[in-house]
Amino acid sequence: MSGSSTGQAGRVTGWGAAGAAETPAGRLRRRFPTFDDLQGRARSRVARFAYDFVAGGVGDGAPNVAHNRAAMDAVRIVPRYALDLSGVATATRLFGRDYAAPVGVAPMGNTGMVWPRADAILAAAAQAARIPYVSSTVANVGMEELARIAPDSLWFQLYGCPAEGHRLSLDLIRRAEAAGAHALVVTLDVPMRQKRVHDVRNGLAVPFKYRPRTVLDIARAPVWALEMLRKGQPRFENMKKYVGEDASVGELASFVTQHMTTGVTWDDIARFREAWPRALVLKGIQHPEDAERAVALGVDGIWVSNHGGRQFDAAPASIDTVPAIAAAVGGRAKILYDGSIRSGLDVLRALAVGADFCFAGRAFLLAVAALGEAGGGHATSAFLEEIRGTFGQAGIRSVEEAARATVLHPNAVRFEPEANAAGLEAPRRRAS
Ligand SMILES: Cc1cc2nc3c(=O)[nH]c(=O)nc-3n(C[C@H](O)[C@H](O)[C@H](O)COP(=O)(O)O)c2cc1C
């Protein structure tokens, strides 16, 4: 969905050949060639509180979101030319399964507030494109239904629910296994809920509270409002089993608030490892020592992420911790990455600095906010096309070659105490 690479990618894949009648997909491609185009449309189409919920971060001005973007832009790839590009391939294998490209849909909760059944739209698009789709614990379409929509793409993301010895977490894990999810992603970087100031100001609540400001927001987004009215307010569907099939939006929301309290510990992860027979991934890792600890527990994937800048404004940019974490892991687990992946070029950047596979959150969800049902296919096609075009432009013929690209990464965090001209310091021990 980048501006510059899209046109080039079109030449490579033969989309929109001159003179051909324009298809609906071709029209969208021309009108919304970049993430920014989609974001602009989303902003004017959905209620302000729903848009801010997706696009925003934690504190005022979302500094960590901006930091993720600036750090991504700072990564440079040195292209190689005069190569035979007849065999450029983006397909890759992860945890024993084949995917069309090294990109997937990151887990996102409460997406139904942005567009009704956004989870189902994105799951179907991922299945059609042969890429992974990670369903959130707090999705608005239940994991069993998503498994029917996307049997080849479904992964499940777990937020720990520590009450009663993780009884609920372990039941969700069992259900994900029965539904056929290919990987379990345990999110670490929400140890406590954070005050997201834009949500506080907007009076965001589940179910919606009709304050004057909310009503004004809704009135300014008539297409979205009509769609919400027709389909009803989104529910945390995975929780119906525990609260009741007829539970109200509010009852399901309070159940989530009561149970998702403090995240998970290393002991919990060891238990989840025993309970889950397929690929296990820990999401939200930012420190090489945490990655080492995860590998020691038999984890299959380390997902480097700062939650898209939604949790901790002082965190390093997600892309900047990838090289040190990849070095610490040394091939013992796969390195997954998210944070400001908005185009095929960003995917290449992440692969070049050490990731094996990437995920995007907002790029997919804002496409649905902008275009509704058509947004899922538009976003997956754009990513696939751009990854291929960008690979070709840089002289890279496969995901394996991307890992060997010559890369400039000026802000990469170095964790050794002596290497701190620009990087982070290792924790100092206080003299006793
Ligand atoms: C609206 C929204 C909801 C999210 N909900 C979850 C969630 O339920 N579980 C989770 O692990 N991460 C969640 N995330 C974080 C994403 O999985 C991912 O880490 C982040 O979006 C990546 O950054 P990007 O949006 O810049 O691509 C959410 C992100 C967004 C934008």
Is the CB–ligand 1 distance for residue 64 below 6 Å?
no
Total of domains in the chain: 1
The answer to whether residue 171 sits within a structural domain is: yes
The pLDDT tens digits of the residues spanning 84-130 come to 999 999 999 999 999 999 999 999 999 999 999 999 999 999 999 99
CATH classification of the domain holding 102 = 3.20.20.70
Ligand-binding site membership of 108 (annotated)? yes
Whether the pLDDT of residue 60 is over 90: the answer is: no
pLDDT of 13 > 90? The answer is no
- The tens digit of pLDDT for each residue in 135-151 reads 999 999 999 999 999 99
**For 162-182, how does the pLDDT look when each residue is reduced to its tens digit (9 = 90+)?**
988 999 999 999 999 999 999
Q: Which atom of ligand 1 is nearest to the CA of 283?
A: 11
What is the Å distance from ligand 1's center to 113 Cα? 14
Q: Is 286 annotated as a binding residue?
A: no
Per-residue pLDDT at 15 = 44
Q: Does the beta carbon of 340 lie inside 6 Å of ligand 1? A: yes
The confidence band for 200, taking pLDDT boundaries of 50, 70 and 90, is confident
Q: Which helix (H) or strand (E) holds 28?
A: helix 24-31
Cα separation, 230 vs 224, in Å, equals 10
Q: Is position 24 within any domain?
A: yes
Predicted confidence at residue 19, as pLDDT, reads 56
| pLDDT at res. 419 | 56
pLDDT tens digits for range 72-87? 999 999 999 999 999 9
Ligand 1 atom closest to residue 362's alpha carbon, by position in its atom list: 25
In the annotation, is 198 catalytic? Answer: no
Q: What average pLDDT does this structure show over 267-282?
A: 98
**What pLDDT, on a 0 to 100 scale, did the predictor assign at position 426?**
52
Which SS3 state, helix, strand or coil, does residue 201 take? helix
Can you tell me which residue has the tokens 């020592």?
289
Judge whether residue 263 has pLDDT over 50.
yes
215 within a domain of the structure (yes/no): no
The answer to whether residue 3 scores a pLDDT higher than 90 is no
46 CB near ligand 1 (under 6 Å)? no
Q: Which two tokens stand for residue 94?
A: 């992860």
Distance 185 CA to ligand 1 centre (A): 12
Q: From CA 340, how far away is CA 361, in angstroms rounded?
A: 8
pLDDT over 80 at 17, yes or no: no
The one-character DSSP state at 413 is -
pLDDT, residue 310, reads 95
Catalytic residue among 198, 307, 378, 409: 307
Residue of minimum CA distance from atom 7 in ligand 1: 108
Residue-wise pLDDT tens digits, 48-58? 999 999 999 99
Give the pLDDT mean for 26-55: 96
How many angstroms is it from 80 CA to the middle of ligand 1?
Answer: 34
Within a domain: 359: yes
For residue 353, which of 43, 71, 59, 112 has the smallest C-alpha distance? Answer: 71
User: Which residue from 65, 68, 108 has its CB within 8 A of the most atoms of ligand 1, so it is best to mutate?
Assistant: 108
What are the tens digits of pLDDT across the range 385-422?
999 999 999 999 999 999 999 999 999 999 976 554 45
pLDDT for 5 equals 36
The rounded mean pLDDT for the chain is: 92
Are the C-beta atoms of residues 150 and 179 closer than 8 Å to each other? Answer: no
- Is 258 a known ligand-binding residue? no
Rounded to the nearest 10 degrees, the angle between the axes of helix 48-55 and helix 35-45 is 150
Token pair for 412: 């990469």
Q: What is the pLDDT of residues 351-374, one digit of tens each?
A: 999 999 999 999 999 999 999 999
pLDDT of amino acid 16: 46
Given the DSSP bridges, would you call strands 357-360 and 406-408 parallel, antiparallel or unpaired? Answer: unpaired
Lowest mean pLDDT among 217-221, 283-287, 358-362: 217-221
Q: Say if 413 falls within a structural domain.
A: no
Contact 110, 138 (CB under 8 A): yes
Task: Quote the domain boundaries for residue 59.
Answer: 3-196+258-408
Residue 248 is predicted with a pLDDT of 94
* 110 conformational bin, left if phi > 0, alpha if psi -120 to 50, beta if neither: left
Cβ neighbours of 209 (radius 10 Å) = 11
What residues contact residue 36 under an 8 Å CB cut-off, 6+ apart? 3
Residue 273 domain flag: yes
Q: Which residue has the tokens 């937020």?
A: 159
**Alpha carbon 135 to chain centroid distance?**
10
Q: Could you tell me the distance, in angstroms and rounded to a whole number, from the CA of residue 323 to the centre of ligand 1?
A: 22
Which of 342, 373, 393, 346 lies closest to 25, judged by CA?
A: 373
DSSP 150: -
Is residue 238 a part of any domain in this protein? no
Distance CA 17, CA 302 (A): 41
The CA distance from 327 to 321, in Å, is: 10
Residue 424 belongs to some domain of the structure: no
